[in-house]
Amino acid sequence: MSQINRQLVLASRPQGAVTPDNFRLVEAPLAPLADGELRVRNHYLSLDPYMRGRMNDSKSYAPPQPLNEVMIGGTVGEVVESKNPKFAVGDKVVAMFGWQEYGTSNGTGLQKVDDTHVPLSAYLGPVGMPGVTAWYGLNRIIAPKAGETVVVSAASGAVGSVVGQLAKLAGARAVGIAGGADKCRYVTGTLGFDACVDYKAGNLYQDLKAATPNGVDGYFENVGGEVLDATLARMNPFGRIALCGFIAGYDGQPVPLRHPSLMLTQRLLVQGFIVSEHMDVWPEALKRLGTLVAQKKLHYRETIAQGLDAAPEAFMGLLKGKNFGKQLVKLI
Ligand SMILES: NC(=O)c1ccc[n+]([C@@H]2O[C@H](COP(=O)([O-])OP(=O)(O)OC[C@H]3O[C@@H](n4cnc5c(N)ncnc54)[C@H](OP(=O)(O)O)[C@@H]3O)[C@@H](O)[C@H]2O)c1
């Protein structure tokens, strides 16, 4: 009797906010493996903001997610069957199998990982793509010096939480911006940032000013909109801004910028980046991040939805800030 693979495909493109109708559940029988192939039971699926952009049929740095195909996504899981000599049953692998319970592959692009000291799920968070994103933007664009002030938005999230902790390890003052008192308490209390500004409290610029008495030397942007405006106004001359994400505008709302001339008058370096275009740094970054997590010097938090069916709701929540830390879906 053949096994069934449950998958979520993109059924339609969102008009504005994502809705459950944009996804469709498909049950596909698993075909027998060909020589050279292996099969993985996915344990966790990563939900990431970039997926929202892929749901649009518009020009971007990556092609759109095709309709009626399995939604793109990073996964970690365990090899359950193998006709590939490089992979044995029981190996743990990181892959891009997407929103489905099983993945079948010839091994290309799969990374074996060791979950002895680093939990499997962390390979989708601080020791995976979000962690490398933080490492790259901080070290290669902001390059903080000891004593400088680094601000990061979406500070309690997968990327932002790593940015601030790495900035602290580099000797900088780390200031987070996050939505809500709970998230801010976590950012200063557990993650060890020097300060955190709750942008939902209604006093963003004044609170940020109080949290950055010496101005801002490096800003790691995850959000856009009013948060970017407020931080721009605190930038010191020759400050560096790493443009990582603009999540406040992903559903199509315009992201206003009221004072763009500050980029000139403060002589700022403003650099956008896409982490997948810098594969050369991944080994160095992952080694550092894996060591820090194994030594419990890099803290992280996860929000875990249970089962594939819960993925659309969890994804919609991620785009509204309902997640607290890295958003995952547990598939087994
Ligand atoms: N350039 C790259 O290569 C690259 C790679 C990975 C990620 N990214 C970007 O990095 C950013 C963070 O990604 P992540 O995976 O770490 O996600 P995350 O921070 O774990 O989760 C997203 C967070 O964004 C905040 N948010 C959501 N909607 C918002 C809105 N309308 N206004 C303000 N904040 C909002 C929420 O935090 P609050 O509750 O605190 O608002 C939410 O928890 C995203 O913009 C993503 O696109 C870029």
In a shared domain, residues 56 and 163: no
In a shared domain, residues 147 and 236: yes
Q: Which residue has the tokens 């991040």?
A: 289
In a shared domain, residues 50 and 173: no
pLDDT digits (tens, 9 = 90+) for 32-79: 999 999 999 999 999 999 999 999 998 888 999 999 999 999 999 999
In a shared domain, residues 249 and 178: yes
Distance 184 CA to ligand 1 centre (A): 15
* pLDDT at site 253: 72
Secondary structure tally for the chain: helices H, strands E: 9, 15
Residue 134 lies in a domain: yes
In a shared domain, residues 268 and 316: no
Return the percent helix, strand and coil in the chain, to nearest 5.
Answer: 30, 25, 40
Q: What is the CATH number of the domain that holds 259?
A: 3.40.50.720
* pLDDT at site 2: 66
* pLDDT at site 1: 47
Distance 169 CA to ligand 1 centre (A): 22
In a shared domain, residues 184 and 110: no
* pLDDT at site 254: 66
In a shared domain, residues 157 and 222: yes
Q: What is the CATH number of the domain that holds 8?
A: 3.90.180.10
Q: What is the domain range of residue 255? A: 129-276
Q: Which residue has the tokens 């049953």?
A: 89
In a shared domain, residues 207 and 118: no
In a shared domain, residues 96 and 14: yes
**For the chain, what is the domain count?**
2
In a shared domain, residues 100 and 209: no
Residue 160 lies in a domain: yes
In a shared domain, residues 163 and 179: yes
In a shared domain, residues 308 and 324: yes
Residue 289 lies in a domain: no
Q: What is the DSSP string of 210-241?
A: HH-TT-EEEEEESS-THHHHHHHTTEEEEEEE
Flag residues of the chain having pLDDT under 70: 1-2, 254
Ligand 1 binding pocket, CB closer than 6 Å: 48-50, 130, 133, 154, 156-160, 178-179, 183, 222-223, 244-245, 247-248, 273-275, 318-321, 323, 326
pTM: 0.97
Residues ≥6 apart with Cβ < 8 Å to 177: 151, 152, 153, 154, 155, 196, 197, 199, 204, 208, 223, 227, 231
